[in-house]
Chains A and B, each alone.
Chain A
Amino acid sequence: MSAAAELVGVVDDDQSVRRGLRRLFRSAGYAAETFASAEDYLARELFEGPICLVLDVRMPGLNGLGLQKELEARGGCEQIIFITGHKDVPTATQAMKNGAVDFLLKPFDSDELIEAVKNALLRGKEHLRKRAERRRARGLIDKLTPREFEVLRFVIIGLLNKQIAAELQTAEKTVKVHRGRVMQKLGLTSVPDLVRLTQIAGISPADAPHGTKVHYPV
C-alpha cells in the first residue's frame, strides 16, 4: 500500500491552467492528473498513496471549499493547496481551518507552488504512515477481550495491580493474569511501550478514581 507513487491532482475549470500546471508538475518529476471539476475528481477511484490536490476556489458546480468538505467526510488523505485569483480572506481562513496546506494567489511563483506541493506530499506521506501505524495498533488491541481491554485502560494511567483489582472488584491475582495476557498479546514488555501503542491507536485512558494515588510509570 505504502508503495503507491505520489500523485498531484489539479482541479480547475480552466483548460489552460490545467495544461500549464500538469506540465509544471511533470517537469518537477511528479505524476500529475488533471480534473475539470470537483465532480470529476470525486468520480475517480480512490488513490491510496500520498496525494496533493491543487484546487481552484471558484468552479462551476461544487467549488473548492465544497470539495474539501466532501473529501473530509470521505476520510481521504488528500493534502489540499488552494489556488485562487481572488484575494478572499474569509475563504482562505476557512480553507486553512479545514486543514488546507496552503493558499496561493494566482498568478503564483511556480517554485513556491512546487515547494508547497513537496511539503504537502511529505505531510501526506506522514499522514499515511501514521494511519498505517494506527491501523496496526488497533488491529492488535482488537485482539483483546473486553476484560483485558478494561485492565489495559487502568494500566496505562499508572495504577498498581492492587488498585486495579479494587476498581474492578476482583482479585489482585486475576488482574495480574489479565495484565500478563495483554502484554503477551500485544507483544510488549514494558508499560511505556504499552502507553505509546495505545496513544497511536487513539485509546482514551480510564478516569483516575477519586482518592487513588496514581503512580505514573517512568
Chain B
Amino acid sequence: MRNLVTPLGLTGIGANSSAGQGRAPFFDWRVGAIALAVALAYYAGAKIGFALTVQPHPISVLWPPNSILLAALLLTPVRLWWVILLAAFPAHLAAQLQSSVPPTMILCWFVSNSCEALIGAGCVRYLVEYPVRFDRLRTVGVFCFFAALVGPFVSSFVDAGFVALNQWGQDSYWQVWRIRFTSNVLAALTLVPFIVTWCGEGIGWMRRIRRARFLEAALLLVALLSVNAIVFYKLGPIADFALVYLPLPFLLWATVRFGSRGTSAAICTVTFLAIWSAGHGYGPFSTRSAAENALSIQMFLIVMSVPLLLLAAVIEERRKGAMILHQRDERITLAAESANLAFWTIDYERQESWMNDQGRAMFDYGPDEFLTRERFLSRVHPDDREAVDEAIERARAKSPTFELEYRLLRPDGETRWLISRGRYVRDDRGAISELIGVAIDVTAQVKANLELRLQRVEMARMSRVSSMGELTASLAHELNQPLTAIASNAAAGRRMLAQGPPDHEMFKELLEDVSADARRAGDIIHGIHHFVRKSEGTRRPVNLNEIVREVLRLLHSDLLGRGTTVETELESSLPAVEADPIHLQQVLLNLLMNSLEAMQSTAAERRRVIICTKREGDAFVMVSVRDHGSGLPKDNLDKVFAHFYSTKPNGMGMGLTIVRSIVEAHGGKLSAENTDDGARFCFRLPLTPQSESVEVA
C-alpha cells in the first residue's frame, strides 16, 4: 500500500491489467488512485505556479504542472500514460478556469504542456532504462538535455504559436516563447528530479536510515534555510550580488553527503525561497523589472542546478562502484579464506608486490616482505626446488602461464602439498610487467588420496588372503601330491637299499622323480606366496592366456572337488597387455570362484565354465568367464559390483568390487550379463601402443 505511487507498484498494475485476468484497468483502484494523485498534484502545481509570480507584471518564474506531468510519466509504465494525461486534463481545466483565460487558450495550453511532457518522457524512457534514477551520469545527462532542454524548447514554439493564434495577451511571439521556455526549463530541472527521487522508491528507504543521518539532514536543512533567509530576505537589494552564491557550499554539502535525493531537495528549497522572496520584493532579485528579475533568477538557478545534479550522479556512481568493488573484494577474501587460497601479484615496473594474509601465512612471509623467486624457492621442498624453478623459467621465457604441484617445507618441518598457477602479464612492448598467481593447499586431498591407495592395496591383499582361505583345501591337496610322491619314492629307495645293492638306473630315475616333485612343491609354495603378498602394482607385459593357465593350475583340485569342467577358448596370438599379473590372477580367480559358486545347484553334467580370451580390434583384449549357473539378479545388473552386495548366504560382497577396482585401475572395463542359461562376466583391458612389439605366444 505504501508504495502506491512507486514505479514498481505501477509496473505491477500494468502487468495485472495486461494479463487480462480479473478486472479491467478502468476498475483497478490503484490506477484510480494514481490518476487522482496526478490530478491533485497538477492542480496544486498550477496553484503554486500562480503564486510564484514576480510582481507587478505577472510572469510565472516557475511553472510546476508541466514538470509534475513529466515526472508522473517518467514514473509510470508507458501503457498507463493515457491515464496520467486523462487525469491531468480536468485538473488543468479546474486550475485555468479560475483565471480569465478563454477556454480555447486553456485547451491549447494543455496540448502544448502535454506535448512537452511527452517529448521529455519519451526521449528519456527511450534512452534510459526503467525505472529512471538520477544516480547515473548518463541518466542525468539525457534528462537535462532532452527533458529539460529539448522538450521545453520544442513545445514552447507550439505554445507561442497557440498564443499568437488566439491573440491572447500583449507579448510578442518570441517574448512568449522565451518566458515559457526558461520557466519550464527551470521547473523541469528543479522539480522533476525531486519528485522522481522522492517518490520513485516509496518510503521504505527512510526506515533504513540511521539516526545520525537524520540529524545531519536536519542540520543541513536548518543551515540551508538560514543561509537562504539571510541571502534572499535579510540582505537588501543593494547587497553584493556575489553573495547569492552563499547557499552553494550547503548545496554541495547536500550533493556530497545525500546523493541525488538530497541534492534535488536542496535545489528545490533554494529555488522556492529565491523565487518567493523575489516575488515579494526582497533580496537581490527584486531590483529590476519583473521580466528581468524573473530571467536572472531562472538563469541563476538553472546554472546552479545542472552541475549539482551531474555532480550528485557522479558521486553516486562512484559510491556504487566502490561498494561493488568492496563487495567483490569481500567475496574474494571469503573465497580465499574458505578455500585456503593464496593470491599474489608482483608488479615489476613499480617494484611492488602484494599477497593476501592467507598466502603470507602459507608461505611464511612477513607482512611487508617483498616477493621474489628466490624467497619463494627457499620455501619449496629441496627435492622439488629444481623442477619448480624450471617450470617458472619456462613460463617466463615461452608460455605465459604455469602450473606447479610441489611440496612446501615449513619452518617447523611440516610438509604441505601445494598447487600454484601463475601468469606473466606483458605490456605493449612485450616486456614482462606483472606476475599474478594463486596457490592452493591440497595437502588434505593428497593425504586422502594416498590413504585411499594404501587402503585399496590392503583391501586387495585381504581379499586375496580370504580367497586363499577358500582355496586352502585345494592348495593343500595340490601340495600333498608332490609330497606324497616324494615320501613314497624315499621309502621305496630305503627299502631297495635294505634289500641289497639297487639297480643303478632305477635308483637314478627315482632320485630324479624326487627332485622334480620337490621342485613342483616349491613352485606351488612360491605361487601362494606370490599371490598373497602385498603387490604395489609392478606392471609388465602380461599374456592373458598365461594368466588363465596359471589360475586353472591353482584351482585344479577345487574344480575336481566341485565336479566342474573348465573349457578354454584362448586366442593363440594374443598381444600382451601392460598389467600387474598378480592382480589379474586375482581378477580371474574371483570370477571363476564366483562362477563355481553360482553353479552349486546346477546338474553335474551341465557344470561347465568357458573361459575365452580374444583380441578386439587394435584397442582391447577381452577375457570372458561364462558359467551355467543361477545367473545374475535380473533387476539390477550393476548392483553385483557394489560393495557388500552378495547373493551368497555367507558372502562378504567384496569380491566383484575388488575385481572391478582392479580392472578399472588397469584402464579396463568389467561388465556382466545374463545368458539364457547362466551368466557371463567379461573384462577388457586396453592395449598399449608397444603391446604389439612384446607379443608373447
Contacts and interface: CB of A to CB of B under 8 A. Distances in A.
Interface of A: 13-14, 16-17, 19-21, 23-24, 26-28, 58-60, 63, 83-86, 106-111, 113-114
B565 to A, nearest CB: 8
A58 B557 contact: yes
Interface in B549-571: 557, 560-561
Given A20-B517, A85-B557, A108 B477 contact: no
Nearest to B562: A58
Given A16-B482, A16-B485, A23-B510, A110 B477 contact: no
A20 B560 contact: no
Contacts of A21: 484-485, 488
Interface in B480-499: 480-493, 495-496, 499
Nearest to B517: A16
Contact of B484 (A13, A63, A86, A107): A107
B484 A20 contact: yes
Contacts of B487: 20, 107-110
B334 interface: no
A110 B483 contact: no
A23 B517 CA distance: 15
B306 to A, nearest CB: 108
B324 interface: no
Contacts of A114: 491
A19 B560 contact: no
Query: Counting chain B CB atoms within 10 Å of each CB, which of A23, A26, A83, A111 scores highest?
Result: A23
A108 B489 CA distance: 12
B513 interface: yes
Given A16-B513, A20-B485, A27 B499 contact: yes
B127 interface: no
Given A27-B499, A85-B480, A86-B477, A58 B561 contact: yes
A20 B482 CA distance: 9
B339 interface: no
A59 B557 CA distance: 8
B361 interface: no
A14 B482 CA distance: 9
A55 B489 CA distance: 18
A85 B476 contact: yes
Interface of B: 473, 476-493, 495-496, 499, 510, 513, 516-517, 520, 557, 560-561
B491 A16 contact: no
B488 A86 contact: no
Contact of A19 (B477, B483, B485, B496): B485
A215 B476 CA distance: 63
B481 A106 contact: yes
A110 B520 CA distance: 20
A17 B557 contact: no
Among B484, B485, B493, residue most surrounded by chain A Cβ atoms (within 10 Å): B484
Given A24-B492, A110-B491, A17 B485 contact: yes
30 contacts: A13-B560, A14-B481, A16-B482, A16-B517, A17-B481, A17-B484, A17-B488, A19-B489, A19-B513, A20-B487, A20-B488, A20-B492, A20-B517, A21-B484, A21-B485, A23-B488, A24-B488, A24-B492, A28-B492, A58-B557, A85-B478, A85-B484, A85-B557, A106-B477, A106-B484, A107-B484, A107-B487, A109-B487, A110-B487, A113-B488
A16 B495 contact: no
B490 A110 contact: yes
Contacts of A26: 492
B516 A16 contact: yes
Contacts, number: 90
A63 B473 CA distance: 17
B492 A106 contact: no
A21 B479 CA distance: 16
Contacts of B485: 14, 16-17, 19-21
A75 B590 CA distance: 44
A28 B494 CA distance: 10
Contacts of B560: 13, 58-60, 63
B514 to A, nearest CB: 8
Contacts of A111: 491
Nearest to B474: A86
Contacts of A109: 487
A23 B484 contact: no
Given A20-B486, A28-B495, A58 B513 contact: no
Contact of B477 (A23, A58, A63, A113): A58
Given A85-B479, A107-B487, A110-B488, 7 more contacts: A16-B481, A20-B486, A20-B488, A24-B491, A58-B560, A86-B476, A107-B483
Q: Which of A84, A110, A113 has the most CB of B within 10 A?
A: A110
A108 B477 CA distance: 13
Contacts of A19: 485, 489, 513
B512 to A, nearest CB: 10
A86 B488 CA distance: 18
Contacts of B480: 85, 106-107
A13 B495 CA distance: 25
A59 B556 CA distance: 10
A19 B510 CA distance: 9
A79 B560 CA distance: 24
Interface pairs A-B: 9 shortest CB-CB: A110-B491, A20-B488, A85-B480, A85-B477, A20-B485, A16-B485, A27-B495, A106-B480, A23-B492
A110 B496 CA distance: 14
Contact of A20 (B473, B499, B513, B561): B513
Contacts of A14: 481, 485
A86 B473 contact: yes
A20 to B, nearest CB: 3
A43 B493 CA distance: 31
A23 B505 CA distance: 13
A111 B496 CA distance: 14
Contacts of B520: 16
B117 to A, nearest CB: 107
B484 A27 contact: no
Contacts of B510: 23
A16 B481 CA distance: 7
Contacts of A108: 484, 487
- The residue in B486, B490, B491 that gathers the most chain A C-beta atoms within 10 A of its C-beta is B491
A16 B516 CA distance: 9
A143 to B, nearest CB: 49
A159 B487 CA distance: 62
A85 B557 CA distance: 10
A59 B493 CA distance: 27
Contacts of B484: 17, 20-21, 83, 85, 106-108
B332 to A, nearest CB: 71
